[in-house]
């Protein structure tokens, strides 16, 4: 059976709205009938209104009870399909990783051929432009596998608006302060996650509990965002280079040295950098 999950989610939300709106209307009608009873004082009308109110209360209960069951059913079904999708995504990511490893060993970067629009809006992944990547001076980045830095080019290119780019500068600056390698590593992590999840960099950066510097919208990135702290040129350069397809790690998690305060850094299995 083919399920349009987004349509069901929309319908589920609409059901909740209907439930709320109908319950509200019933209460308002009951209040109005009570007001009328107080305005026109006749025992017959008061009794009639009381009957109507009682009938509407019963109806309201019936509708709410059954709508709750319907909403619960849809929510259960949606959760089931969401889990299925997550499992499928994980399998797909694993498959891509395996294929990437094979192609990496022969020096071919398969992601460089990816061309698609991610979500709506202005952010896109386009086919990597070898000429652009080749023209970038990557000599400022240290290639040190033992420390987790392996500089490479030809990764997906992201085109951001000025405000999106400024937001990324601010977040990376708050995470990595002023270090080419750390700034490129944080940028790489953001874009690696964007690649893997088919999401925009902005969506990745603002996801809950992903980047401490964002902090739900009130983190230290704000000082860079609003200009009270100057964004270092090294950070701007690293972010720009990363958006043009340069990466220095393939990890999905990374602790910037300048952020943790560690004097020495090591990379362990799983890609997290720890003291």
Partner 1 sequence: MFSMYQNNGSNNYNINSVTDLENSAGALASYNQAITNNVSSLEYVMKAVQANWENENGQDLQSTIQNLNDAIAVLENEIQPLLKNYVETLYNIANETKSHQSASIF
Residues that bind partner 1 (CB under 8 A): 1, 3-4, 7-8, 11, 14-15, 18, 21-22, 25, 28-29, 32, 35-36, 38-42, 44-45, 48, 51-52, 55-56, 59, 62-63, 65-67, 69-70, 73-74, 77
In angstroms, what is the minimal distance from the CB of 86 to partner 1? 20
In angstroms, what is the minimal distance from the CB of 215 to partner 1? 38
Q: How far apart are CA 111 and CA 153, in angstroms?
A: 11
In angstroms, what is the minimal distance from the CB of 47 to partner 1? 8
Other beta carbons less than 10 A from residue 53's beta carbon: 18
Q: Considering beta carbons, is residue 14 or 94 the nearer one to partner 1?
A: 14
Rounding to the nearest 10 degrees, give the CA dihedral for residues 77, 79, 80, 83: 160
In angstroms, what is the minimal distance from the CB of 32 to partner 1? 5
In angstroms, what is the minimal distance from the CB of 84 to partner 1? 13
Whole-number CA gyration radius for the chain: 28
Q: Considering beta carbons, is residue 64 or 206 the nearer one to partner 1?
A: 64
Residue-by-residue DSSP string for 211-262: -TTTGGGTSTHHHHHTTSSPPPHHHHHHHHHHHTT-BS---S----HHHHT-
- Residue 19 vs residues 24, 32, 54, 78: alpha-carbon distances, Å: 8, 20, 19, 19
Which of these, 122, 5, 132, 142, lies nearest to 74 by C-alpha position?
Answer: 5
Q: Considering beta carbons, is residue 25 or 90 the nearer one to partner 1?
A: 25
Q: Considering beta carbons, is residue 28 or 275 the nearer one to partner 1?
A: 28
Q: Considering beta carbons, is residue 29 or 222 the nearer one to partner 1?
A: 29
């Amino acid at each position: 059976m083919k399920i349009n999950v987004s349509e069901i989610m929309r319908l589920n939300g609409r059901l909740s709205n209907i439930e709320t709106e109908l319950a509200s209307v019933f209460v308002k009608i009951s209040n109005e009938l009570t007001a009328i009873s107080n305005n026109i004082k006749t025992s017959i009308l008061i009794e009639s209104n009381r009957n109507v109110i009682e009938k509407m209360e019963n109806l309201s209960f019936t509708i709410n009870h059954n709508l709750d069951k319907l909403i619960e059913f849809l929510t259960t079904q949606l959760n089931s399909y969401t889990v299925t999708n997550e499992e499928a995504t994980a399998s797909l990511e694993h498959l891509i990783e395996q294929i990437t490893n094979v192609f990496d060993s022969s020096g071919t970067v398969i992601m460089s051929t990816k061309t698609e629009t991610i979500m709506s809006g202005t952010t896109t992944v386009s086919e990597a432009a070898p000429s652009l990547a080749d023209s970038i001076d990557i000599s400022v980045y240290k290639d040190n596998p033992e420390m987790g830095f392996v500089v490479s080019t030809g990764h997906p290119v992201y085109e951001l608006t000025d405000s999106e780019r400024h937001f990324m500068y601010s977040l990376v600056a708050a995470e990595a302060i002023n270090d080419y390698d750390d700034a490129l590593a944080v940028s790489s992590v953001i874009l690696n996650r964007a690649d893997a999840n088919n999401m925009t960099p902005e969506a990745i950066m603002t996801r809950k509990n992903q980047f401490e510097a964002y902090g739900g919208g009130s983190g230290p990135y704000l000082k860079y965002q609003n200009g009270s702290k100057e964004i270092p040129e090294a950070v701007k350069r690293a972010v720009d280079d990363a958006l043009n397809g340069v990466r220095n790690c393939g990890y999905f998690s990374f602790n910037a040295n300048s952020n943790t305060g560690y004097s020495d850094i090591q990379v362990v299995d799983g890609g997290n950098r720890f003291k």
